[in-house]
Structure 1
Amino acid sequence: MVEVGDVDQDAARWWAAVLSTETGTTGTLNGWRASIRNDKGALLCSPWSIAVSCNTPFVVVSAEQQPTPSCATARTTSTRMTKTTMTTTTTTTPSLYTPAPYRMAIRYLSEYCRLHAISRQSEAALAAALMIPIAKLDGARIELPSPKPRRDGAPAAAAAAAAAASSQDGQAYLPWDEEVGEKEHSQPPDRLLTLSCHPRGAKALLSSIFFQPDIDCNLCGAWLQGFFASLDSEAAQEPQLRLWTFVRRDPGLAFLWLGAFITGAEARCVQDARSGWWKTDLSSAAWTGTHVSFIQGTVTKPPPAAAADISRADECRLMYLAHGPTHAVPPLFPFAPFGRTALQDADLDVRQHTQCPALHRLVYAGFVWDCQGGGQNVKQGAGGDGDADDAALIRVKTSELSRVAEVDDTIAVDYSGLDREDGDEISEMVTRNIFCWLRGDDGYPVAERALRQHEWINDVDSDDDDDDDGPGQGREDSRSLFGDTRLSR
């Protein structure tokens, strides 16, 4: 039974439709559908449409506890209501009524949450709803516990208690409440819904907690093994503790991680991260200020005139910023390449920009919504052309993985299950990919002959001729290339 309080017939009809558990007379799809037509007339379904697997129908109850069965979306409910009773009749005409507009639906939800004093739970519910497109992307089912009926009578007492609490320590605002100014919302609902419409981007944000900016590609496998040794420890099996661990890595993603744990989306994220294979998305990263890849970093300021090399990470950044035909797409993996490249062996665009005094980095310029009628809604980004550091644009991740609880920061971690070969396989995969991205077009300079011949890379096709002579100034050998990120200079 769903108690909606003292509502008018439009609200009762809306609740009955939303809570319906069948579609049409066949019952082939449980739930409701929301769709629109695009410019070409094709039908587009809402990314948050769901099918409810529920054999028990919901019953809508008004102010005087009169039950109102929920109707199918192929039917409509004609409601007559007074202060004391509400009765319903159903017809088979599907289009007598139009859905409640956005602002009216928001009002219905807000009134319901205030009636039952569940503002905090409404935040969690919104977080879970935002993860529905990710569940569809992963082909996963969302399993939620059945709602439990109230045992303390009408919700009036709860509402009164909530009002009293609000006057003392501040009742949580509703995440969609338009009465609260935008400054109170860290992420207004329209932006959250836009992000949710891009499930690959939202999932990339979740997976970004497994990326550590100061870990290079040749050591990322060992880093991930250590990360999961901590997560697999007995003390970290409690779901709330695991959630806290993830949130501490990047508190700015706490809202999304809460929804992921409610819907079960975190399981696939963890599975992908164990194999070192997750996708990055620079658009969602820029929009939320999340550090998802080394490519987002700022290129080091021009070195002294005597300097004759550049870090390969900066080399990658400049090549991506130059946006040549073979580097218009960012590297697949987030971990940076190790070592340095002699400037005389670098690409011409790289050499040109290393001497440029300007700041070289990716900057979030803004976001544009295309509106009905041909208008646009522009949201300017925080980035600019000044000398502000990365901290103003990208949140810093914490490395305090052991501090998964405030009361105990000395949790024992069992490293007996670490497999060096598994870690090396991940490092090999990521290293081969980033060097293929960096050198796949022009080939390897002579100075990197030892690197090219290393077993992690030597099966990559290349057009370069290892026997050619050249003026490269490489200083690495194959023993030092993959064993340590600190190379000799």
Structure 2
Amino acid sequence: MDTKAVATILRDNNVLQLEEQQLQDALEQSREYWYQIANLAFHLREAGFSSEFTNPRLALHRIPKLQVRSGRLHVRPYGMTPIRSLCCEASSIWTLSTDQDCGKLKKQMSHLTFVQVGIAAATSFSFIEDAFSSWNGMSGGNVIGPNYLGILALGWCYVLCAQLVKMRGEDSSMQYTQCQAGYSDESLPDPSQVHVIDVGEVDESVARWWSAILAPNEGWKATVKQTPQGEFLAPWSVSRACETHFSIKYQGTLSPDPDPKPLSSERAFKALVEFARLHELQSQFPIALTMALTIPTHKYYRLSAKLPLPRATGFKSITTPVNAEWMNLKEDLPYYMTLSCSPEVMMSTFCGAFWEQDVPCNLVSPWLHPIINEVLGDLPENELEVLAFIGTIRQPRFSAFWIGAIASGLGPEILHRVRGGHPPLDRVAFPWTGCPQSFMDVAGSGPYTCKDPDYILREDVWRLTNYPSTDGDNESYQHGPRVPWAPCGASLTRDCALYVTAHLDCPRHEYEYDHWVWYLPDGTLMQDRGFSEQVTPAVSESRFDNIQLKTRREFKRTQFDQEASREASGQVFLWYFFGGEGLPSESIYQEEWLKEVWENNMSEFGGGEFDDGEVPEPVVKSGEFVDSWLDTVS
């Protein structure tokens, strides 16, 4: 499919609020694209998963290996919750390509960030009949097998907690609590309301571990650090809030020791592998890991995770587990842990699936409306599985994380963050995962000036404004815009600052992610270039072009509003305004969407008087550009 059919829209126009016909034309083209994507997603949902969809390793690109023994630990607010977190300080380092060095830009820039390594309270979760409660795995059709996604995810949470405790050492500890699930040979209050989980032939230490995994409330406690501000737990610590009853069935004898030593990360992983083999849960095992990896993101957004209820009956696959791939999951855990401990990166990447490179800020509403409101808007939460496949089509290398996110109940929050036009955005998300998600992630192409050399696209003005000049006069812009959408239109070069016009004749500049820096306890700096400097081959979006759809769904068309476009436009222009340049003397800044903002802040930030006579006509009139765009997609 050709996303360019929707992408190259009105880049050169100098009008923020478009005419109704222009918006309707853009809306129809967006519908054509998104309806096709949605129908493919519904098809994939029925057809089952192919193996690459369930491989989380495809998402590992430049992600650094977690170093939790940090010399710069901070207790600070983190996310939407008032509860403080334990975070380690780190930095991302970006370098200017040597063949692009004109001497007017700094050769390197650094951005400080925080990685969460401890939480003050466990994340709540419940078992519920919701997305992926039925699992057809790689079989497709109506063949429904056993479903232990939720239970496997809890096992992975324990493995991650134990791994972090092992990596921390020092005052970290792992222990079982008094809460535990019962055993099947014990009397049950109401057997019909109890989920009996067969864990096979295990020794008493593994049986006790399963009792902690399936316990109500918190079955284990992974303490990362004791501080004057309180105790901090591993980020994957969870507490079951529902009243679902579990009973453990196993072959073996109960230990006379009521509180044996908790399993290590290695032994817990082995027990989880044996459980997956026993129930032949090949495709569920890696997806359950990605579900566990979303737990810190749930915490960040004050959400309770929702895990699928277990299903013991049904068809079992005869496929033999691939032990090497499962072992890779354990070996790669420190990389997955860094990603998981960075909820802003996780949510930025999920929301990035709805970003399109050349859709400007003033067309966000007609671009998003068909998929967010018409396709997904009326779906109940238990049918949001299709969102996982939409994400898979748009971001093939992140497919396993998409399935895990929807299976853990994160789908509604992702849609909420996208819908308003101002999704979260994190600078390192693109180099870490290989999934671009902002116009700032790409350098653009061709010369900086337009066909008319008196003009430069605003998105290039924004890029050059963000790049650090050697004289430091644009330091207030170092953090970049907080929305992914490019500003529309073009600016007169005479209205641009010197740190922009100084590069009009330069080849395209670009700062590339170089490495990550961890600050160790002995004061040394550890440089980490990431899991791989080569992008892992992943299924391409183009592979879906060959799928023949036997049926197509019809979606109810609804009226759209301009709120997402208004929010996206306001935010991307606010970044430029609040950086210190004041009000530029261009007509677009006097349009309704922006004028009130400027007037409210004029006295504080300055800016000259506006004169309509000073502003020439735009490079390309919006109507002409719409006509040329429609010609390319007809």
1:142-179 CA distance string (max 9 Å, x none): 33343234589xxxxx7xx74xx33xxxx45576524x
Bigger-Rg structure (1/2): 1
Counterpart residue number, 1:207: 351
Counterpart residue number, 2:197: 2
Secondary structure, aligned partner of 1:211:
coil
Separation of aligned partners in 1, 2:358 and 2:280: 45
Kept after mapping to 2: 8 A contact 1:11/1:108: yes
Aligned residues: CA RMSD? 4.1
Aligned-pair CA distance for 1:313: 0.4
1:234-287 CA distance string (max 9 Å, x none): 899954434322321221221121112112110111123222232111122321
* Gap regions ≥5 residues in structure 2: 1-195, 630-634
Aligned-pair CA distance for 1:455: 1.3
Report the CA distance shift for 1:370/1:467 in structure 2 as closer, same or farther (over 3 A).
Answer: closer
Counterpart residue number, 1:316: 462
Secondary structure, aligned partner of 1:62:
strand
Counterpart residue number, 2:607: 464
Separation of aligned partners in 2, 1:426 and 1:131: 26
Secondary structure, aligned partner of 1:51:
strand
Separation of aligned partners in 2, 1:321 and 1:393: 28
Report the CA distance shift for 1:38/1:306 in structure 2 as closer, same or farther (over 3 A).
Answer: farther
Kept after mapping to 1: 8 A contact 2:355/2:484: yes
Separation of aligned partners in 1, 2:518 and 2:510: 25
2:568 maps to which of 416, 425, 430: 430
Residue type matched to 2:310 in 1? P
Kept after mapping to 2: 8 A contact 1:290/1:394: no
Tell whether 2:422 aligns with 1:277. Answer: yes
Aligned-pair CA distance for 1:216: 0.5
1:228 maps to which of 372, 387, 399: 372
| TM-score using structure 1 length | 0.73
Separation of aligned partners in 2, 1:344 and 1:381: 45
1:353 maps to which of 503, 508, 532: 503
1:378 maps to which of 490, 512, 528: 528
Separation of aligned partners in 2, 1:285 and 1:474: 38
Kept after mapping to 1: 8 A contact 2:417/2:424: no
Tell whether 2:494 aligns with 1:344. Answer: yes
Counterpart residue number, 2:581: 442
Tell whether 2:210 aligns with 1:11. Answer: no
Residue type matched to 1:274 in 2? R
Secondary structure, aligned partner of 2:484:
coil
Decide which moves more: 41-50 or 304-313: 304-313
Report the CA distance shift for 1:474/1:34 in structure 2 as closer, same or farther (over 3 A).
Answer: farther
Residue type matched to 2:351 in 1? S
Separation of aligned partners in 2, 1:362 and 1:485: 35
Report the CA distance shift for 1:39/1:33 in structure 2 as closer, same or farther (over 3 A).
Answer: closer
Aligned-pair CA distance for 1:303: 5.1
Secondary structure, aligned partner of 1:88:
coil
Residue type matched to 1:365 in 2? D
Aligned-pair CA distance for 1:294: 0.8
Counterpart residue number, 2:271: 108
* Gap regions ≥5 residues in structure 1: 22-28, 64-84, 153-157, 183-187, 385-391
Separation of aligned partners in 1, 2:374 and 2:543: 11
Counterpart residue number, 2:307: 144
Aligned-pair CA distance for 1:307: 2.6
Secondary structure, aligned partner of 2:221:
coil
Counterpart residue number, 2:285: 122
Tell whether 2:515 aligns with 1:366. Answer: yes
How many pairs align? 420
Secondary structure, aligned partner of 1:144:
strand
Decide which moves more: 305-314 or 430-439: 305-314
Secondary structure, aligned partner of 1:287:
helix
Summarize the alignment of residues 39-438 of structure 1 with structure 2, pairs less than 5 Å apart: 42-55=230-243, 58-63=246-251, 85-89=252-256, 91=258, 97-149=260-312, 162=318, 165-166=319-320, 171-173=321-323, 176-178=326-328, 188-232=332-376, 238-302=383-447, 307-322=453-468, 324-357=474-507, 359-368=508-517, 376=526, 378-380=528-530, 406-408=548-550, 410-415=552-557, 417-419=558-560, 422-423=561-562, 425-438=563-576
Separation of aligned partners in 1, 2:314 and 2:490: 67
Separation of aligned partners in 2, 1:486 and 1:435: 26
Residue type matched to 1:241 in 2? V
Report the CA distance shift for 1:379/1:236 in structure 2 as closer, same or farther (over 3 A).
Answer: same
1:27-60 CA distance string (max 9 Å, x none): xx44322121168785221221111235465444
Separation of aligned partners in 2, 1:173 and 1:398: 29
Kept after mapping to 1: 8 A contact 2:360/2:488: yes
Secondary structure, aligned partner of 1:322:
coil
Separation of aligned partners in 2, 1:109 and 1:371: 33
Alignment identity in percent? 25
Kept after mapping to 1: 8 A contact 2:493/2:501: yes
Separation of aligned partners in 1, 2:198 and 2:439: 51
Separation of aligned partners in 1, 2:475 and 2:330: 45
Greater RCO, CA 8 A, separation 6+: 2
Decide which moves more: 218-227 or 392-401: 392-401
Kept after mapping to 2: 8 A contact 1:370/1:376: yes
Aligned-pair CA distance for 1:298: 0.7
Residue type matched to 1:48 in 2? W
1:35 maps to which of 202, 215, 223: 223
Decide which moves more: 135-144 or 403-412: 403-412
Counterpart residue number, 1:20: 215
Kept after mapping to 2: 8 A contact 1:366/1:381: no
Report the CA distance shift for 1:52/1:234 in structure 2 as closer, same or farther (over 3 A).
Answer: closer
Residue type matched to 1:367 in 2? W
Aligned-pair CA distance for 1:90: 5.2
Report the CA distance shift for 1:150/1:215 in structure 2 as closer, same or farther (over 3 A).
Answer: closer
Residue type matched to 1:336 in 2? A
Secondary structure, aligned partner of 1:457:
helix
| TM-score using structure 2 length | 0.57
Residue type matched to 2:288 in 1? A
1:374-413 CA distance string (max 9 Å, x none): 78472347779xxxxxxx7999996999x89852475433
Separation of aligned partners in 2, 1:86 and 1:378: 47
1:175-200 CA distance string (max 9 Å, x none): 6524x897xxxxx3332222111222
Aligned-pair CA distance for 1:337: 0.7
Residue type matched to 2:208 in 1? R
Kept after mapping to 1: 8 A contact 2:430/2:441: no
Residue type matched to 2:438 in 1? S
1:401-432 CA distance string (max 9 Å, x none): 9x8985247543332x123xx22x32222212
